[in-house]
Structures are given as C-alpha cells and as structure tokens.
Amino acid sequence: MNERIIPIADARYNAGTPSVPADPDPATGRLADAHGRMLRDLRISVTDRCNFRCSYCMPPAVFDRNFQFLPHSSLLSFEEIARMARIFAGHGVEKIRITGGEPLLRRNIEALIGMLAEIRGVQDRPLEITLTTNASLLARKAGALAAAGLRRVTVSLDALDDGVFRAMNSADFPVADVLAGIDAAATAGLRSIKINMVVKRGVNDQEIVPMARHFRGTGHIVRFIEFMDVGASNGWRLDDVVPSAEVIARISEHFPLDPVAPQYPGEVAARWRYADGSGEIGVISSVSRPFCSSCNRARLSTEGKLFTCLFATSGHDLRALLRGGYSDQQISGAIAQLWGQRTDRYSEIRSEATSGLRRIEMSYIGG
C-alpha cells in the first residue's frame, strides 16, 4: 500500500463570509454559473468523522488520535441543514446527497432524512434524496432510513477479497458485514443500489472483475471510480490511477459491455450495459475524462461552508449568515451571487501548478 503520506494542509478554515445583496431577487429555480452550468445537485456532509481509515481518503497516519475533528458545536443542526436545503431547492436543486465522513455516525440521521423528504422543489416536486455510506451501520439503520423517506443509497466497497478490503479500510472491517448492509437496504425497499469502488493500481485493481461478476444480475450497479487527487494527504500519483477505459476493457474480456446513453445532462458516471442483459455498471473518470463542463454540484460542509468545487481551496461561510439573523431571501441572494461567479473547472486544468494547493479533504466535504 502507498505510504507516501503528506501531512495535512488544513484548508478547513479558509472561508470568507459571503456578501449579502441589499435587495435580493426572489429565487427563480434556475441559477447558472459563469460558464452557464445550472445548479441542480447539493451534497451535504453531516460529519467529518469516520470509523474507517481508507488509505485514499483518511490515511491513518494523518487522521490519527491527535487529529482535530470539528467540535459538535460547530456542526449545522438538522434544522439548519433543512433550512439550507429549502433555500437551495428554491434555486433549482433537485437532488441531495447526504455524505461525510461516515453519515450514519451522525446520531438520529433518519430524522434529518425525514425533514428533507418533506421539502418540495421547483413545481412542487419532492427532492431526490440519497446517501453515501461505508455500510458499517447500514444493516442496523436501513429500515429506519427507508421509513423516514430515503429511496436510494450508495454503498462504498473496494474489494470482495476480505484481506484486501480489511487492509484498505484500515479498520479490519469485514466484507461480509458490508454485504449484509447491502442486503438489508434492498430488503428495506431502497432501490437501484449503487456500489462505489475506488480503484487503486496495485492495491485492488485485481478485484475489478470479481466485483463485476458478484453484482451482475443483482440489480445493484457497481461504479468504478478513478482514484482522485482530492485533498492533500493521500499521496496521490497519476501512476496509481487505473483509467476507466482499462476497467471497461478488463471487464469486457469476461462479460461484453455496450455503452448506454446518459439519463440526464451532468450524469457523473458513464453507463455500460452487459450485452447479455444481466445489468449495468458505471465508470467515474474524474481524472482521465473530466466532466467539469457539465458539473452542476454544490457542496455544503459539516459546519455550513459552501464549496463550489471538490478541489476548492476555500469555501463560503453560510453558517455565519444562518446564525447572523439573515432572512431566507437574503441567504438565497448571497448563494445566487456566489454561484453566478463560479468558474471552477479543476479537473480539466489539473496540472503540476495546482497539485501543491491546500485543498479540502474528501472526508470533510464528502464525495
């Protein structure tokens, strides 16, 4: 496993308080950034803590017992998160992904799901709410999450081989318990379950075909993710990335695949269908085929900072507005200004010049 760990450059505190327009226009449900990309997707991190220490996300040498996680008092409350979600829905957000850290570690997370499920977006449509989890607590929580209104879930699983998986999560957590979580989610009625596998060359790339084989015919969709240079601590090197084209080629040798057209603009995963009709897979090619030109995602950190790119080096402190007595319309106006100025396209301009920047960590902002 890669041991070139870089001490964390803490970018969490780089955030200015956004300016609030004097006379904000009401939200119209359509908000374009400087490149014409509409705001559609909001990812909300509900905790920066995790019970795993995946090497590509929270390397144990950095996220050790001395690491300063955020104090509870700085986290947004569920009421504050729901308020933010309502304001974003007014701007056209259709989909909310709950993430972290490990979101199921946040106590009573199902209560938040219940609050978000009540929000109506443009044309009075309910939002699509989904959650990404390492599944360590999913077998216990799936029923309550489904009852609260969760309809979809994404589970991270990087290998079927127990030894490989236990080493990658650095918590000695077994594959069998993740599979039990996936089964519990299906039994609870969560549909189109996605399984995220981050592929790192020489670490788990031998698991690509076994993962495809295992989940073919189950209705669950495995998404193979290129290892990304997110954050500043995971020792990323281009050589560690297995390009999606290689993933497709390797699977096709065993199970022929045909490309599927995207379901909607801005879909992150490119979809492929097994030629024999036994289901589909996805590949997320943030490194080899960046998709910034259609990126419609905003991210809200655990303590209410808005990031307009996964690779941002600074955020915008919306919590200061939430707790500063501003009205929904004022906060909405501030968000409109921020999104309107957005020019981010990090993955398209990834280069040596940007690699040393003090970026936020994935465990802080969520996937």
Residues that bind ligand SF4 in the complex, under the rule CB under 6 A: 50, 52-54, 57-58, 100-102, 134, 156, 290-292, 295, 297, 309-311, 344-347, 363
Min dist. Cβ of residue 142 to ligand SAM (A): 15
If contact means CB under 5 to 8 A according to the sort of partner, which of ligand SF4, ligand SAM, none does residue 228 touch?
ligand SAM
| Residue keyed to tokens 């014409």 | 36
Q: Which of residues 195-234 bind ligand SAM (CB under 6 A)?
A: 196, 198, 225, 227-228, 230, 234
To which H or E segment does residue 272 belong? strand 270-274
Taking residues 54 to 83 in sequence order and writing x for each that binds ligand SAM by CB under 6 A, - otherwise, the string is: --xx--------------------------
Q: Which of residues 86-115 bind ligand SAM (CB under 6 A)?
A: 99-100, 102
If contact means CB under 5 to 8 A according to the sort of partner, which of ligand SAM, ligand SF4, none does residue 225 touch?
ligand SAM
Query: Kindly report the CA angle at 224 between 222 and 229, in degrees rounded to 5?
Result: 145
Q: How far is residue 220's CA from residue 278's CA, in Å, rounded to a whole number? A: 11
If contact means CB under 5 to 8 A according to the sort of partner, which of ligand SAM, ligand SF4, none does residue 309 touch?
ligand SF4
User: How many other CB atoms are found less than 10 A from the CB of residue 161?
Assistant: 16
Min dist. Cβ of residue 179 to ligand SAM (A): 15
Q: How far is residue 150's CA from residue 114's CA, in Å, rounded to a whole number? A: 8
Instruction: At 272, list the tokens.
Output: 């492929």
User: How many other CB atoms are found less than 10 A from the CB of residue 105?
Assistant: 17
Longest Cα pair distance anywhere in the chain, in angstroms?
61
If contact means CB under 5 to 8 A according to the sort of partner, which of ligand SF4, ligand SAM, none does residue 345 touch?
ligand SF4
Please, are residues 18 and 72 in contact by the beta-carbon 8 Å criterion?
no
Task: Please tell me whether residue 37 adopts helix, strand or coil conformation.
Answer: coil
Contacting positions for ligand SAM (CB under 6 A):
50, 56-57, 99-100, 102, 132-134, 156, 196, 198, 225, 227-228, 230, 234, 362-363, 366-367
